[in-house]
A = this chain, B = another copy of it.
Amino acid sequence: MLIWKKLERPVLYNAVVIEGLPGIGNVGKMVVEYLIEKLKAKKFAELYSDHFPYHVFINEDSTVDLPRNEFYYYKGGKQDLVFLTGDFQSMTPQGHYEIAQNELDFIREMNINRMITLGGFGVEGMPAKPKVLGAATTKELVEEFKEAGVIFEDGERVGMVVGASGVLLGMGKLCGVEGVCLMGETLARPMFTDARAAQAVLEILTKKFNLTVDMEDIKIKAKELDRAIAKAKELEAQMLTKLKKPGEELTYIG
């Protein structure tokens, strides 16, 4: 079961969809929500599905809403943009396909044939400066986004894109919506909302689309994260020093 609530029918010209849903490091959702806020993008459609959880959220004003995906548009830049974000990805495999197919139908109704899906790419050990990795539906898109600073590898390290960002790309390839997935490197474990990875992806996107976006807030959050990581490392080093008494070999306790 899918229910669309269409709030407005915006006139868009040559638009691109940028998708960011909850996922690893919450990178995609953080990037898209940041752009929606800073660009004051306007919500124009909501999608509800029985593959989202069976509860309502209670808002601050005590009103309730079912989980949903949301579409926003922004017409102030070089190119019209449509943002896709939401509370959840599908809870079931079948739902991933059903939701992607319906969202792609909606995208094609708007005469949009290009899509950028966002996510995190989990690595071991916090990267000094997170890279943005990519995969795409066509070789032309690979070349185009290489020039924008995205790293494309041979598939051996990345291997697959799981969830909405992947299925949207794969289904889009079958129905004429080309797409590229941008993945900011983030710590695979423990998982946290990663402002550093989000900043890396935002830098690629704002440059690529020539967007004037105030980056101050994301930089602050990324620096806070930098400090928290430095602090954690320092504590770890102190702990190891205490454990290692003079004349003894260090024994790792982990």
A contact residues vs B (CB 8 Å cutoff): 1, 3, 5, 48, 50-51, 53-66, 90-94, 96-98, 101, 134-139, 142, 152-155, 158-163, 166-167, 169-171, 173-174, 181
Q: Which residues of B contact A64 (CB under 8 A)?
A: 135-137, 161, 166, 169-170, 173, 181
A92 vs B139: C-alpha distance when bound (angstroms): 33
A126 vs B132: C-alpha distance when bound (angstroms): 47
Q: Which residues of B contact A142 (CB under 8 A)?
A: 61-63
A65 vs B61: C-alpha distance when bound (angstroms): 43
Starting from the known contacts A55-B160, A63-B139, 17 additional A-B residue pairs (CB-CB under 8 Å) come to A1-B97, A51-B94, A54-B96, A54-B166, A55-B162, A56-B166, A56-B167, A58-B161, A60-B155, A62-B135, A62-B136, A62-B152, A63-B138, A64-B136, A64-B181, A66-B171, A66-B173
Q: Smallest Cβ distance from A24 to chain B, in angstroms?
A: 13
A171 vs B66: C-alpha distance when bound (angstroms): 7
| Dominant secondary structure at the A interface | mixed
Q: Smallest Cβ distance from A2 to chain B, in angstroms?
A: 10
A114 vs B91: C-alpha distance when bound (angstroms): 30
Q: Smallest Cβ distance from A28 to chain B, in angstroms?
A: 15
Q: Smallest Cβ distance from A1 to chain B, in angstroms?
A: 5
Checking B3, B53, B63, B93 against A53 with a beta-carbon cut-off of 8 angstroms, the contacting residue is B93
A158 vs B58: C-alpha distance when bound (angstroms): 7
A63 vs B173: C-alpha distance when bound (angstroms): 10
A7 vs B91: C-alpha distance when bound (angstroms): 33
Q: Smallest Cβ distance from A229 to chain B, in angstroms?
A: 29
Q: Which residues of B contact A5 (CB under 8 A)?
A: 174
